[in-house]
Amino acid sequence: MPVEWAGSGPELLVTIDRAGGTGLRTQLEEQLRAAIRAGRLPAGERLPSSRELARALGLSRGLVQDCYAQLQAEGYLTSRPGSATRVAAGAARQSPPSISRTPPPARPAVADFRAGVPDLGLVPREDWAWAVREACRTMPDAAFGYGDPAGQPRLREVLVGYLTRVRAVTASPEHVIVCAGMAQALAVVLRALPTAVLAVEDPGPGRTVLEQAAAAGMTTVPVPVDADGLDVTALHRTAAQAVLVTPAHQWPTGVVLSGPRRQALIAWARTRGGVIVEDDYDAEFRYDREPVGSLQGLAPDCVVSLGTVSKSLAPALRLGWILAPDHLLAALTHGKQLADRGSPGVDQLALAILMESGRYDRHLRRVRAEYAARREVLVAALATHAPHARVTGLAAGFHAVLHLPPGSDEAEVTARARERGVGLYGLGGRHPCLVLGFGDTSRHVIEPGIAAVADLLRPKPGGAARGAGAIQVR
């Protein structure tokens, strides 16, 4: 029977099984020994007196005294005449060394132009809570099991309908694998690709993507990006048989992969037997023209398309998807199964309900209007305070690229801006540029932020001006 004692000693659960084949003293010794080793009884902790413990457990006092004596002999306990029995120093498990974690830097006081982050204050909390309640209310008992590792059938069907409508994909629900966000989707794909060399855009993915490729045993080779997107001619000169691209809104330059380049890239994949991995990361947010369709819709046989709700809803939901070609479907599904046996079923059904109800589309319209308004504030602020700056990549997403004057030092500009309470971030490419995010930057701080660093964005005295009106939406 499990018995919990209290009183002058610590509380500790001890189970004495009188019907078992193990002696009562042996049971007590083993449980006290295990509690000390595990740290549940720390060094110096006082134990109950032999009389108190015997009474609480229904044992003879002599048995408890013999148990204490044995553990003292082994070095687990210590006792002095007239004093309590305590856990010996050094007998308890030592606490693991604390891990030093560098705290995230404080957000700048005036404005922070971080890119790639949506406004978490716009998360549709009430709609999501409603969808979760509806999922729990309507789910059959079987849906609370492990389910298909590729995802809940209802969500996969809803995703195909949505992506066909808004992204012009070509797929059936069987081609969809639901994942825990973009990070897991990419990790699963990289491990399934039959190649050791992955081409990436330059400028392009951040450190996390490169680390994922390395963890999958792949080397990465950079391929230049120009005004038309990835340079496919340069791609041909590499040994890569897979390439990771962001064709709808290249990260971070914002350019769109042109029609001829799309055809050339597909031809490269089919000629080489390669795979195109499409990161369709923020295609929902376009402002000046109709969204560009998914590359997957042109070549579902050689494109793996990745999507997520991290930008449209919230990163914390950890929901994303893979649209897989037939020849990779089995390997990708197996990889997902090994990773976690499937993403949370309740959240998957909640997302399906949110999309079916029309609330997801309504939310997108609302946040798209807000981001468009912030973009206009940013454009106006730059036109006022840095009229000679050239800005590109504004047609979609919630970041822009500001081209610094020739000879500028990205690191110096960002450091001086932070001293003034403004967070600016360099592109890290061949030419000095800044990535100006406005997704998590409220309207009322954009203009003061740009005004505070205006002199850092202008040509130096005597330098060549780029000319006013250089803001471009491409």
**Third-level CATH fold of 111-116+367-457:** Aspartate Aminotransferase, domain 1 (3.90.1150)
**Higher-scoring residue by pLDDT: 4, 267:** 267
pTM of the model: 0.76
Two tokens at 249? 């809104």
- What pLDDT band is residue 460 in, cutting at 50, 70 and 90? confident
| Cβ–Cβ < 8 Å for 294, 283 | yes
Spacing of C-alpha 258 from chain mean position:
29
Strands 242-245 and 275-279, sheet pairing: parallel
Q: Where are the domains of the chain?
A: 2-87, 111-116+367-457, 121-361
**CATH: 3.50.50.60, 3.30.1370.160, 3.40.50.300, 3.40.640.10. Which one for 121-361?**
3.40.640.10
Instruction: Tell me what pLDDT residue 414 has.
Output: 95
- What pLDDT band is residue 3 in, cutting at 50, 70 and 90? very low
Residue 14: count other Cβ atoms within 10 Å of its Cβ.
17
Nearest-CA neighbor of 336 among 184, 155, 160, 159? 184
What mean pLDDT do residues 445-468 have? Answer: 78
pLDDT, one tens digit per residue, over 357-414 is 999 999 999 999 999 999 999 999 999 999 988 998 888 888 999 999 988 999 999 9
SS3 208: helix
Residue 468 has pLDDT above 60, yes or no: no
Instruction: Tell me what pLDDT residue 6 has.
Output: 45
CATH for the stretch 2-87 = 1.10.10.10
| 197, β-bridge pairs | 219
Nearest-CA neighbor of 28 among 38, 8, 13? 13
Q: Which residues contact 17 (CB under 8 A, 6 or more apart)?
A: 1, 27
